[in-house]
């Protein structure tokens, strides 16, 4: 009869390219792995791994055991997590995904603090250009900037995040004045092309709640917001960026806000939770720490005193 230890051992083998790699992962010698595999195959009465080539290959029976190993492992983890939740204990493996820039600055320090405070838990932070496109059910928390779209998971707002129209003083001092959104059509504009969104149609709401839309013709564009920011700092044109990304540049005078009385649609910082992980103790503990770190939003202390045009 197979045990959970047998299945855990076989899972390590299926995730390895060779028995030697499995031995390193298990912290045992390669002969010990070979001996245990042989004993496992004798127990089930069939060959599980073809060891004739340079790489390990699962037999048909081995693939069957591997698939059931995953199911049993997940069931055991879920049971342990459910029992821990009843005690209010924080354990298990926290999986977080976040955008590259925001994740490095504001999420990574919270993941580190979480791991330090909860020694019974482990953590992984996956940084991605498009975290919302990841399979949310594979993560406890997916941090996303902007509207999450039509998804079925729980979404909670972590912090407000206005978007700001801005450019360098070098560009603005040499360009024609901008008194209304319509003037932007005559200026050099920079656009971030991150998804299928129409990034050339800029929408504004005025001081009297009037709506204005402007179709710009970007002179430069990129799928990387950090590149667009560098181009703007170099005086190449006007861009739209999140407040968190440019607050320090505004405060230090490297960038200047354009049309401050006209507001752009915000791109709030949100957390998307998979239904299976949304109520776990580790998710709740991490979200509490993340909210504390973002309340008030640390970048707003910088932007509060930044110069305006």
Q: How far is CA 168 from CA 98, 181, 235, 267, in A?
A: 28, 18, 6, 22
What does the pLDDT look like over 142-152, one tens digit per residue? 999 987 665 56
**What is the 8-class DSSP label of residue 136?**
G
User: Could you tell me where in the chain the CATH 3.40.190.290 domains are found?
Assistant: 162-266
CATH class label, 162-266? alpha beta
Structure tokens at 287: 């979200």
User: Could you tell me where in the chain the CATH 3.40.190.10 domains are found?
Assistant: 90-160+268-303
Coil vs helix vs strand at 31: helix
Q: What's the pTM?
A: 0.71
User: Could you tell me where in the chain the CATH 1.10.10.10 domains are found?
Assistant: 4-84
What does the pLDDT look like over 195-239, one tens digit per residue? 667 889 999 999 999 999 999 999 999 988 999 999 999 999 999
CATH class label, 4-84? mainly alpha
Closest CA to 243 of 270, 266, 215, 277: 266
Q: What are phi and psi of 125, to 5 degrees?
A: -115, 115
Domain 90-160+268-303 has CATH 3.40.190.10: yes
Beta-sheet pairing, 220-222 with 141-145 = unpaired
Beta-sheet pairing, 239-242 with 163-167 = antiparallel
What does the pLDDT look like over 38-94, one tens digit per residue? 998 898 888 888 877 677 888 888 888 888 877 776 666 666 666 655 556 677 889
């Amino acid at each position: 009869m197979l045990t959970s230890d047998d299945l855990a051992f076989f899972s390590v083998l299926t995730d390895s390219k060779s028995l030697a790699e499995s031995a390193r992962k298990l912290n045992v010698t390669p002969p010990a792995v070979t001996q245990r595999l042989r004993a496992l195959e004798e127990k089930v009465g069939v060959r599980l791994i073809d060891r004739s080539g340079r790489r390990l290959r699962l037999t048909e029976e081995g693939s069957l055991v591997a698939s059931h190993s995953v199911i049993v492992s997940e069931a055991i983890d879920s049971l342990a997590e459910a029992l821990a939740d009843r005690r209010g204990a924080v354990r298990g493996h926290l999986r977080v995904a976040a955008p590259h820039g925001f994740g490095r600055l504001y999420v990574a320090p919270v993941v580190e603090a979480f791991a330090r405070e909860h020694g019974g838990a482990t953590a992984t932070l996956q940084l991605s250009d498009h975290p919302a496109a990841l399979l949310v059910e594979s993560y406890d928390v997916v941090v996303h900037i902007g509207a999450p779209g039509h998804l079925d998971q729980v979404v909670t707002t972590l912090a407000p995040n206005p978007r700001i129209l801005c450019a360098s003083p070098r560009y603005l001092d040499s360009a024609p004045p901008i008194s209304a959104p319509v003037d932007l059509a005559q200026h050099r504009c920079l656009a971030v092309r991150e998804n299928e969104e129409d990034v050339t149609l800029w929408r504004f709401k005025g001081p009297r709640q009037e709506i204005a839309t402007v179709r710009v013709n970007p002179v430069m564009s990129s799928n990387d917001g950090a590149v667009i920011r560098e181009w703007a700092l170099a005086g190449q044109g006007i861009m739209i960026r999140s407040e968190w990304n440019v607050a320090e540049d505004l405060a230090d005078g490297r960038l200047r806000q354009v049309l401050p009385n006209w507001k752009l649609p915000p791109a709030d910082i949100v957390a998307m939770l998979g239904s299976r992980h949304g109520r776990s103790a580790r998710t709740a503990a991490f979200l509490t720490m993340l909210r504390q770190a973002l309340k008030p939003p640390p970048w707003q202390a910088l932007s509060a005193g930044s110069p305006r045009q």
